[in-house]
Structure 1
Amino acid sequence: MFTLGITLLGLAAASPALAMNVSNVLIYSYTAGFRHDSIPTAVAEMTRRGPDYGINFVNTEDMTMLTDEYFSQFDAMLLLSNTDEVFDAQARVAFQNYLDNGGNVVGVHAATDCMLNFTTMERTLGTQFAYHPEFTNATMIVADPSHPSTAGLPPRWRVQDEIYNFNHDPRALGAVVVLTADETSYVDTGDRSPAQGSPHPIAWYQERLKGSNSTGPVGRSWYTGLGHAAAAWKDDVFMGHIFGGITYVLASNTTRAMNPSATVGSLGPSYTPPPPAPTTTLDSPNSSAVRVLGGLSLIGSILVSSCLLVLHMA
């Protein structure tokens, strides 16, 4: 009885969180063309929420900072709604070297509208921006609910955003699309090219980003076309989408946050994430499994108490 009680009680205990290194992520938000008003809010919200994920964000819009030495500190680079020519010749070389050394890349919204004559950028992000209809309400469809960037989303996710169209299908470069747009849920009078593929891609990832020239370890990339408005960056569901993409690329095992033999990335202190919050409660209408587990634990506790009482009386 004593052993049974301890085992049942142990079933309800939370598993200990695994320690990892703090990851350094560079947010590069320089724009040479159209500038989104949401950029300051996006930087502030990612920076504020970063410690909850063991991420230290650094933001710069100084192109001259983009050198081999500077890039070598970061486990990922996040391209935040950049437009037009945001790399000079030195930055292009340093960015390519970073990719070749195992660096990871996240692209958000207008990032596909920068460096349009730089093949490495197109291959890294998967495609290039073509156009978008007016800011609108639209329905996104989760194509892969198992991916970290979509795991917290409803199967059909209603958003208010600019729904991007692209010049090419990112799937042609081996990208896996995790979020698509329901084209019947909004109005688009533009000349949408069939070359972007169907269903309409909105967010995707590359397990080995195609912009690298390395034959060894290659980092990951993840991109989302959403994120136009500042309000999105205040929304917990949208931020779960963003941080899911960031944490996915950081788990590539090609930078120092996860791999001490890597040549780029942070050498920061250890970080232990908090245990996951319960998704159901004993009062939830969908919590029968939780109630059963709680009942088993209660039975175990009663059995333990009974054994102790018998031993005391003996």
Structure 2
Amino acid sequence: MLLSVSTLLFVFLSLFLINATLAQRQSIPARVLIYSATARFRHDSIPTAIAALKAKGAAINVEFDATEDRAQFTDTVLAGYDAVLFLSTTGEVLDDAGKAAFQKYLNLGGNFIGIHSCSDSLVNTTFYGREVGAYFDYHPALRDAIVDVVDSSHPSTRMLPAEWHIRDEMYNFKSDPRSVGATVVLAANESSYVDDGTRKFDQGSPHPLAWYQSHGSGVDDEHKSSAGRSFYTSLGHSNETWQDNLFLAHVLGGVSWTLQSNTTRAMNSSALVGNPQGQSSGADASGSPTNSGTAPANTTQSSGRALPTMTSTAITIIAVVVGYVQFFLTT
């Protein structure tokens, strides 16, 4: 997708403003574990997506690690992360022990980010389906379509035009994510493309494509009040999409919002999970001593670093500039 100079400037300033807001509250980088294992269809865009996220990590004060090893889903390993990001996973990508560790992580305040076909994973695991928000049903062929911004105030959508023209897969779902308390931020404009499939399920209206949960519903009843956040976007099928700066801004805005849950150590030193550098005691969520917060075995670690906190004056100036750019984009 070709973007005008003014649009690129707007995207850049939006990301800068996202980082400034996050940095005011966050003195250490947040750690996010990207999990991209597949047991069924595998997207060839996964390496491109991982590279894009790692390249942009420092811009939002995030260190991304990546793994496809289900053995990393243990209490100890997950406790070192502020969020777990399922990237285009498919099928049964966790065993029972991994599922139990993941639910414990969520119960302790861990955050979740889901992208694209992760909604077609662990389809018989109730807590996971609730944490994602809805399971994938089917999609028409890859095609050009219009995505409507339903909520322009969310950090994942502030940089997007009201009608976003994109080439991607328009997912249909087996349920309405609003039924578990999710708030939809992007919807498919069904008049802009042809869907020759047969819908068997009620996914609600408008047609949901991306949403968030302020308190992820994958936790058990005992931990609902301490649940972290959940964000999901169904977009992200192709390499071209992951090379689109506007799409990346959408994803990074969702990541940044999710990490501001105040339930992990990047934002709350007394939290039970998250970057060990931010904890206020010498034990992790399992009660074991923590080490330096290095990446677990069989992961690749980014070179993300903490960024200096922005002053309120700088943020105000950036906001004014963004306002002017928005004005010129709409005139």
Shared fold by TM > 0.5?
A: yes
Ranges in structure 1 where 5+ consecutive residues have no aligned partner: 1-13, 288-314
Match of 1:40 among 38, 47, 59: 47
Q: Is the 8 A contact 1:128 1:167 kept in 2?
A: yes
Q: 1:53-68 to 2 correspondence within 5 Å?
A: 53-68=60-75
**Partners in 2 of 1:285 and 1:255 — Cα distance?**
34
Q: Which residue of 12, 27, 50 corresponds with 2:34? A: 27
Q: 1:284 to 1:132 in 2, by over 3 A?
A: closer
**What is residue 308 of structure 2 aligned with on the other side?**
272
Query: Which residues of structure 2 form unaligned runs of 5+?
Result: 1-16, 279-305
For residues 284 and 150 of structure 1, do their structure 2 counterparts lie closer, same or farther at Cα, with a shift above 3 Å needed?
closer
Instruction: Give me the whole-angstrom Cα distance separating, in 2, the residues matched to 1:143 and 1:130.
Output: 22
Which of the numbers 237, 244, 267 marks the counterpart of 2:246?
237
Q: 1:130 aligns with which of 112, 137, 140?
A: 137
Q: Secondary structure of the equivalent of 1:78?
A: strand
Q: Distance in 2 between matches of 1:93 and 1:156?
A: 40
User: What SS does the corresponding residue of 1:107 show, helix, strand or coil?
Assistant: strand
Contact residue 54 and residue 273 of structure 1 kept, 8 A: no
Q: Please give the per-residue CA displacement for 1:115-144, whole angstroms capped at 9, x wherever unaligned.
A: 000001100011100000000000000000
Contact kept? 2:31, 2:80, Cα under 8 Å: yes
Q: Which has the larger radius of gyration?
A: 1
2:214–2:229 CA contact under 8 A, matched in 1: yes
Q: CA RMSD in A?
A: 2.3
Deviation at 1:65, TM superposition (A): 1.1
1:220 corresponds to: 229
Which of 236, 240, 251 matches 2:260? Answer: 251
For residues 205 and 286 of structure 1, do their structure 2 counterparts lie closer, same or farther at Cα, with a shift above 3 Å needed?
closer
Are the counterparts in 1 of residues 143 and 168 from structure 2 also a CA contact under 8 Å?
Answer: yes
- List per-residue Cα deviations over 1:76-102 (Å, max 9, x = no partner): 000001000000111011001000000
Normalising by structure 2, report the TM-score.
0.78
What is the CA–CA distance in structure 2 between the aligned matches of 1:57 and 1:215, rounded to whole Å?
A: 27
Q: Which amino acid aligns with 1:101?
A: L
For residue 92 of structure 1, what is the aligned residue in structure 2? Answer: 99
List structure 1 segments (4+ residues) > 3 angstroms apart after TM superposition.
14-17, 267-271, 273-281, 283-287
Q: TM-score, normalised by structure 1?
A: 0.82
| Residues 162-208 of structure 1, C-alpha deviations (whole Å, 9 max, x = no match) | 11000000001110000000001001010124511111000000111
Q: Distance in 2 between matches of 1:83 and 1:215?
A: 27
Instruction: Tell me the matched-pair count.
Output: 274
2: CA distance, partners of 1:169 / 1:211: 15
